[in-house]
């Protein structure tokens, strides 16, 4: 209970200070974490997993429980406060410590992250609704380059958030959100293989699972 309270307090603090890159007022629920990691549940190792924008580790907690002895995990987080939280978890939390020798936390934008070996699963928690459309397209292209040909990229977005934000945005904001909608729908249409609905989350969310495949 103490850990959960501390996690929510830290998330709220970073939301106030860094809204553009945090984008949520609370960590992901276990139901959202389960939906995001659904493809990983069925894996037969060894596999490589990349989590992008893990925050305080709400989804990471689910990932580390699913990792098998020969699996590897990389986490890319830009926020230094969240990086510190994650590194403490791998040092102190028994569930995280179990895979600490096969997990690495990287502090950098995903565009600057480099890996010589692609990933079988990528779980992305970045707040795309806060980003300009060209940046979102750039991030997706980076993620697909990091994914194996048969790998799965999973990300989420809050239900009906863009229409609601359009109602309170100025003309420039509405234009950005409309352009963003086009970009996201393009990737969902071209690469989408499954969508999950998660109502038990704050706010409720859709989870999109994408794969590299021909248009």
89: left (phi over 0), alpha (psi -120 to 50) or beta: alpha
Q: Provide the pLDDT for residue 26.
A: 66
- pTM value surpassing 0.95: no
Q: Encode the chain (215 residues) as per-residue pLDDT tens digits.
A: 444 444 444 444 544 444 444 445 567 899 999 999 999 998 987 999 999 999 999 999 999 999 999 999 999 999 999 999 999 999 999 999 999 999 999 999 999 999 999 999 999 999 999 999 999 999 999 999 999 999 999 999 999 999 999 999 999 999 999 999 999 999 999 999 999 999 999 899 999 999 997 64
CB 207 within 8 A of CB 198: yes
pLDDT of residue 12: 46
What six digits make up the tokens of 188?
Answer: 């969902």
Integer angstrom CA distances of residue 142 from 36, 85, 153: 19, 26, 11
Nearest Cα to Cα of residue 64 among 129, 4, 123, 23: 123
Q: Residue 5 has what pLDDT?
A: 40
User: Which two tokens mark 122?
Assistant: 């990528």
In this predicted structure, what is the pLDDT of residue 25?
53
CATH architecture of the domain with residue range 2-211? 3-Layer(aba) Sandwich (3.40)
CB 99 within 8 A of CB 73: yes
């Amino acid at each position: 209970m103490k850990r959960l309270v501390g996690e929510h307090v830290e998330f709220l603090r970073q939301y106030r200070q860094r809204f553009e890159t945090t984008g949520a007022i609370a960590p992901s629920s276990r139901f959202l974490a389960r939906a995001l990691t659904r493809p990983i549940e069925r894996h037969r190792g060894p596999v490589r997993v990349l989590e992008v924008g893990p925050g305080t580790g709400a989804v990471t907690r689910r990932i580390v429980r699913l990792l098998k002895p020969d699996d590897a995990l990389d986490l890319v987080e830009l926020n230094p406060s969240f990086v510190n939280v994650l590194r403490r978890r791998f040092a102190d939390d028994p569930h995280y410590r179990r895979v600490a020798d096969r997990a690495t936390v990287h502090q950098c934008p995903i565009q600057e992250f480099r890996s010589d070996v692609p990933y079988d699963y990528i779980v992305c928690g970045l707040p795309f609704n806060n980003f300009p459309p060209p940046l979102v397209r750039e991030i997706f292209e980076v993620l697909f380059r990091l994914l194996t040909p048969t790998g799965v990229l999973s990300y989420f977005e809050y239900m009906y958030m863009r229409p609601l934000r359009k109602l309170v945005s100025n003309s420039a904001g509405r234009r950005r959100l409309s352009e963003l909608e086009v970009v996201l729908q393009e990737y969902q249409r071209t690469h989408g293989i499954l969508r999950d609905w998660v109502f038990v989350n704050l706010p409720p969310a859709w989870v999109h699972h994408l794969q590299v495949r021909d248009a």
